[in-house]
Amino acid sequence: MTTARPRTSPTRKRPPREQAALTVDQLSVAGRGMELVNEVSFALDPGQRVGLIGESGAGKSLTAGAIMGLLPDGMHARGAVRLGGVSHDLLGASERQMSAIRGRRLAMVFQEPMTALNPVMRVCDQVAEAMLVHRTQPGRRAARDRAVDLLARVRLPDPANTARAYPHQLSGGQRQRVVLAIALANDPAVLICDEPTTALDVTVQAHMLELILEAVTERGCALLFITHDLAVVATVCQRVLVMYGGRVVEAGPVRDVLTGPRHPYTRGLLDASDLEPSGERDRLYNIPGTVPAAGAFPAGCVFRTRCARADDRCATRPDWSGDEARGYACWYPLGDRDE
């Protein structure tokens, strides 16, 4: 049974649910009297790489948390989250069901590797444990061997020895490689990376991105890549969802969105990024104003208090124009050509 959906967010028409690796349908997250994620819908095809971009506070991490079944206390999700090959909605899953899925079919790399690692366990044992809890290796010995192999694949230097180290003996970049090895240990169908390079030195960020790209490409694993950096999306992703104030305000193929943004917020992000040729950036464009506090976004279009194009009409929530493949939510979109 399909139900009529509001037209304020993209309706999911394709691919058919059975074929998608992950389908997020009208996902909202609320808590403490506030709605922080509002009707987010998208799908990942198997092996597809999709970026979720927006400034801090947009609701990106809560979206990931809802998908993973790891929301902070007091927050709850509505809508539906479906994973290929799993018949039930993940939002209705028991903790036991989620434990069987998390780290197995669906894995995540967080921004801060230290929070994901056990400080008192050797890194090879942590990678091995990821396989042992899901019984994807026949025994400790086999899991250990594969752990060292995985650590070599993510290019941990001198893996045979470094594998015996504790997290604090490694650099930030090395720790994030370990976290990636853990996430990949059971060949997940979907990997979510939430700002995986933000905490790392600039010099190791590019290596980490390459590794993630290589890892998902060779496994045919779908990727949801969360970042505030448009340049990173351009490097890693095929599609992008632009998020602001808990909503997806624009979606489409990366090239289309970056070369022909329709939503003024996307234009602002682009103008403020390194992707614009330096001549264009002379005016040091910034999106005026600041991101409102949680729960303090205006009614209607969430961006209207910072938007130069806004007028009274924007007090009404804009319809979603286009479809899931390419669309935006704005009454006064930019033209096909840059304005």
Site residues, Mg ion (CB under 5 A): 60-61
Sheet containing strand 49-53, strands side by side? 106-109, 190-194, 222-227, 49-53, 239-244, 247-253, 327-329, 320-322
Give the residue from 278, 244, 238 showing the smallest Cα distance to 258.
238
77 phi and psi, to 5 degrees? Answer: -110, 145
Binders of ligand ADP among residues 270 to 299 (CB under 6 A) are: 294
Binding piece for ligand ADP, criterion CB under 6 A, among 7-15, 40-48, 58-66, 214-222: 58-66
Which residues on neighbouring strands pair with residue 51, listed in sequence order?
225, 240
Instruction: Identify which of residues 3 and 56 has a Cβ nearer to ligand ADP in the complex.
Output: 56
Instruction: Identify which of residues 28 and 63 has a Cβ nearer to Mg ion in the complex.
Output: 63
Residue 233 lies near ligand ADP (rule: CB under 6 A): no
Cis before 15 (ω within 30): yes
Instruction: Identify which of residues 198 and 321 has a Cβ nearer to ligand ADP in the complex.
Output: 198
Residue 72 lies near ligand ADP (rule: CB under 6 A): yes
Binding piece for ligand ADP, criterion CB under 6 A, among 16-24, 57-65, 118-126, 268-276: 57-65
Q: In degrees to the nearest 10, what's the CA dihedral of 223, 88, 17, 229? A: -20
**Whole-number minimum distance, CB 306 to ligand ADP, in Å?**
15
Residue 60 lies near ligand ADP (rule: CB under 6 A): yes
Instruction: Identify which of residues 98 and 294 has a Cβ nearer to ligand ADP in the complex.
Output: 294
Beta carbons of 281 and 294 less than 8 angstroms apart: no
Amino acid (1-letter code) at residue 91: L
The count of residues interacting with ligand ADP (CB under 6 A) is 13
The CA-atom distances, in angstroms, between 177 and each of 74, 255, 275, 293, 313 are 32, 29, 27, 34, 48
Give the residue from 238, 247, 199 showing the smallest Cα distance to 216.
238
Residue from 7, 14, 17, 32 that binds ligand ADP (CB under 6 A)?
32
Residue 59 lies near ligand ADP (rule: CB under 6 A): yes
| Residue 76 binding result from ligand ADP, Mg ion, none, given CB thresholds of 5 to 8 Å by partner type | none
66 phi and psi, to 5 degrees? Answer: -65, -40
Residue from 2, 56, 115, 203 that binds ligand ADP (CB under 6 A)?
56
Residue 62 lies near ligand ADP (rule: CB under 6 A): yes
Applying CB under 6 A, the residues found at the interface with ligand ADP are 32, 36, 54, 56-62, 72, 75, 294
